[in-house]
């Protein structure tokens, strides 16, 4: 009888494993809400993303957890706000070892886990960072492999969107070294990688997926593109499509279209391998577009106020679509509010794993949204960056840009462009929301100081 019970439970486990979807998390770098066709963009060609939207769900109110890249990326993997794990801004801190990550959790279920593209959650060498000695590589060494990924082909930070190893396309100065850009499982890739950076990344991601499918293993694949972050360099053939536009615009539009082409390649690969129907694919940007005003930055925040680095809508409301054939209604759109911190609880809900209970999780499961429930979000969303703070509860958004010296309140349902401050009309709302925000910030501070970690583990930091 005992053997029969064990056999039965094993069969149940195998059946559950067979139903677990593959997962691909795609992310652009500094892409604006208004840059994509599925949000009404008219200039940049994004046919693959538009096709993905036609077969999946577009999120009209999807937020990056931060208005800059590094903090947002950590939220995708932990379900937590960046101020809980010490990544307050780009090139600040690192993803701490005691954090519980998606690749670690899914890896325990037998998933093959791979990271491809921009990492930006720690240095990839303990001796070197292209950002210079000020990045303190020995203190901030954290690779994708150390965070739970089986395989990784990654860069520490953004590299040029075309011919990244060409010295003329280098990012920044100081100790930046174009020979030390991509790293593969801890080894520096010295052979120059040529052409479109999105293709360079996808050239490694596709074989990883193919190998997992051949081995009949579910896969969790994170593909974080470099486009359209500076250095913005468009390939010649892609630039020709935008020849009527100014040269800086050609480069920006070209690298977005090149990225979109690789997303189409990924979707075709999934179909050719026969796993598209059992694969959940997400796409978003890590923050809004860089502030317009110089040659490289021509991205559009759409109708929203602000750009990258700000907590106005244009800085954190990002283009987003999620595709899961058979599970998400094709061509659907949702007004439900979501944030990158929702990835972890959503995926754990799907694979029937409990959310970690020993620490605060800021995200919530979106599974009911996938099923067509367009109800208001059950939990508020907090944001903080530099001197800015936000508490978003339903359509109401409380914001300060000067450490609380002045508070503004907006009704995003009626005023998504944040033109009319209604704080003076609703002092009781401002008071209640400010108190809730202060409580949440205190919780983040407790986490940041290591309060969520076992006493034997140090929180780390710079």
Q: What stretches of 5-149 adopt beta strand conformation (E)?
A: 22-28, 57-63, 112-118
Residues 161 and 258: beta-carbon distance below 8 Å: yes
Residues 225 and 259: beta-carbon distance below 8 Å: yes
Through-space distance between the first and last CA atoms of the chain, rounded to whole angstroms: 57
- Both tokens of residue 192? 């120059």
DSSP 146: G
Residue with tokens 């800015």, as numbered in its chain: 388
Active-site annotation holder among 81, 115, 120, 229: 120
Q: Is 120 a catalytic residue?
A: yes
CA 190 to chain centre: 27
DSSP 289: P
Active-site annotation holder among 69, 255, 284, 444: 69
Residues 308 and 293: beta-carbon distance below 8 Å: no
Q: Which of 222, 234, 286 is nearest to 258 (CA)?
A: 234
Residue with tokens 């690749």, as numbered in its chain: 103
User: 274 CB contacts (<8 Å, ≥6 apart)?
Assistant: 213
N residues, the chain = 462
Backbone torsions φ then ψ of 307, nearest 5 degrees: -140, -175
Catalytically annotated residues: 69, 120
């Amino acid at each position: 009888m005992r053997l029969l019970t064990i056999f039965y439970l094993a069969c149940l486990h195998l059946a559950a494993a067979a139903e677990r979807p593959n997962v691909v998390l795609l992310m652009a770098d500094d892409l604006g809400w208004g840059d994509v066709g599925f949000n009404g963009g008219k200039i940049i060609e994004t046919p693959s993303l538009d096709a993905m939207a036609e077969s999946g769900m577009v999120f009209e109110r999807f937020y990056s957890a931060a208005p800059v890249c590094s903090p947002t990326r950590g939220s995708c993997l932990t379900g937590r706000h960046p101020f809980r794990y010490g990544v307050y801004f780009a090139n600040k801190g690192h993803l701490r070892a005691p954090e519980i990550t998606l690749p670690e959790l899914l890896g325990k279920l037998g998933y093959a886990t791979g990271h491809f593209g921009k990492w930006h959650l720690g240095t990839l060498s303990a001796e070197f960072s292209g950002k210079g000695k000020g990045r303190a590589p020995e203190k901030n060494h954290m690779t994708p492999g150390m965070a739970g990924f089986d395989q990784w082909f990654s860069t520490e930070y953004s590299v040029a969107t075309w011919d990244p190893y060409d010295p003329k396309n280098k990012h920044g100065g100081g100790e930046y070294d174009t020979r030390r850009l991509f790293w593969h499982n801890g080894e520096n890739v010295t052979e120059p990688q040529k052409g479109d950076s999105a293709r360079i990344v996808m050239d490694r991601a596709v074989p990883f997926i193919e190998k997992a499918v051949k081995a009949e293993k579910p896969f969790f694949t994170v593909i974080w593109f470099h486009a359209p972050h500076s250095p913005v360099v468009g390939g010649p053939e892609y630039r020709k499509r935008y020849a009527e536009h100014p040269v800086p615009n050609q480069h920006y539009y070209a690298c977005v279209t090149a990225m979109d082409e690789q997303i189409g390649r990924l979707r075709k690969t999934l179909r050719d391998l026969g796993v598209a129907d059992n694969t959940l694919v997400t796409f978003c940007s890590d923050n809004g577009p860089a502030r317009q005003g110089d040659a490289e930055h021509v991205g559009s925040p759409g109708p929203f106020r602000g750009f990258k680095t700000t907590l106005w809508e244009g800085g954190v409301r990002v283009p987003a679509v999620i595709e899961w054939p058979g599970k998400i209604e094709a061509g659907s759109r949702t007004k439900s509010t979501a944030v990158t911190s929702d990835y972890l609880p959503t995926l754990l809900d799907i694979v029937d794993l409990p959310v970690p209970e020993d620490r605060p999780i800021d995200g919530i499961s979106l599974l009911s949204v996938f099923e067509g429930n367009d109800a208001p979000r059950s939990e508020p969303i907090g944001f903080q960056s530099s001197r800015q703070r936000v508490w978003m509860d339903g359509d109401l958004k409380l914001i300060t840009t000067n450490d609380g010296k002045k508070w503004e309140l907006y009704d995003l349902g009626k005023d998504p462009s944040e033109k009319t401050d209604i704080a003076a009309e609703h002092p009781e709302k401002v008071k209640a929301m400010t108190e809730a925000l202060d409580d949440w910030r205190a919780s983040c501070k407790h986490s940041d100081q290591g309060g969520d970690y076992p006493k034997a583990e140090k929180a780390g930091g710079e």
